[in-house]
Amino acid sequence: MLANTKDVLLHAQKGKYAVGAFNVYNLETAQAAIRVAEREYQPVILALGERYFPTVDVEGFSAMVRALAAKASISVSLHLDHAYKKESIIRAIRSGFTSVMYDGSLFDIEQNIRYTKEIVEIAHMAGVSVEAEIGSLARGAFSDEEEGDGTLTDPESARQFVTETGVDFLAAAIGTVHGMYQGEPNIDLSLLKRIRQAVEVPLVLHGGSGTPDDIIKQAIQAGICKINVNTEVSMAAVSFIQNYLEAYKPVHLSTIMADMQESMEPVMTKFVRLFSNKDANIV
Ligand SMILES: [Zn+2]
């Protein structure tokens, strides 16, 4: 069923697990994420970034995802990822998204607070929850996100930000990157623990792709409830298509799309199992 992202994340926070937020662009990516979540009995968040608004019919896309969610045996949320414009957020709210991310991380803290607070007021009137970000992720390889400067989140600023904006969940920058790491990941888990002590809302980790499993597990233990995954799934689909084309087999588009969906599912399954924290009590 379609679920409010905040409810999904508060449940995850209580249960000490994380929910995968997969970036989706079309029917196949949405179906892949929902099928994997159903097979694993886990909730899932489908995320569409503002940067795809020029090419994706937002209202049509939302209607499609909500129809798929209504049929699903697990909770499915529809999230607007990295939005910089108020009009995109209002458009997402109007078309039925269950949460929105306002990214004011490029502004200084005072401005970010002011703009985020306004978005929170609008979204909450519609029953939609809000994610925001302070600090900023650097961009690694194969990413389709904006360049960030890699500033880590300051716990005191996080406390002030959450208190003053009323935001429902917070993206913390602790050293993960958008895309694949170039060199060794340098992720500050002790900083994450300090941020956790400073704020009570569920914490979000962007940049799940390429992050070592043990770091992910420790991050979940330290309070991460939502983990965004984009690049690794995209890479699986693209390399699948590339192999198809290099084989020069005359094949119908419908076959490529169906098989491409299947090529993404093992990658999503790996993440969903890792995030579910099911083996946490097994020594
Ligand atoms: Zn992100």
- Look at strands 129-134 and 169-172 and give their pairing: parallel
What is the average pLDDT score of the chain? 93
- CA distance linking residue 30 with residue 37, whole number of Å: 11
Q: Identify residue 25 by its one-letter amino acid code.
A: Y
254 CA → ligand 1 middle, Å: 31
State residue 251's pLDDT score: 84
- b/e burial code for range 157-185 (CB count within 10 A of at least 16 → b): bbebbbeebebbbbbbbbbbbbbbbeeeb
178 CA → ligand 1 middle, Å: 6
241 in a domain, yes or no? yes
Q: Identify residue 175 by its one-letter amino acid code.
A: G
pLDDT digits (tens, 9 = 90+) for 70-122: 999 999 999 999 999 999 999 999 999 999 999 998 899 999 999 999 999 99
Contact present, 54 and 283 (Cβ < 8 Å) = no
Q: Encoding tokens for residue 177?
A: 């990157």
Total domains, the chain: 1
SS3 72: coil
- CA distance linking residue 138 with residue 181, whole number of Å: 10
pLDDT digits (tens, 9 = 90+) for 5-49: 999 999 999 999 999 999 999 999 999 999 999 999 999 999 999
Contact present, 112 and 201 (Cβ < 8 Å) = no
190 in a domain, yes or no? yes
186 in a domain, yes or no? yes
Structural domain range at position 42: 5-275
- Answer yes or no: 81 catalytic: yes
CATH for 41: 3.20.20.70
283 in a domain, yes or no? no
Q: What is the average per-residue pLDDT within 198-223?
A: 93
282 in a domain, yes or no? no
23 CA → ligand 1 middle, Å: 10
Assessment of whether the complete model's pTM goes beyond 0.85 = yes
Max avg pLDDT among 34-48, 144-158, 180-194 = 34-48
State residue 282's pLDDT score: 46
63 CA → ligand 1 middle, Å: 24
281 in a domain, yes or no? no
From 57, 81, 149, 188, the catalytic residue: 81
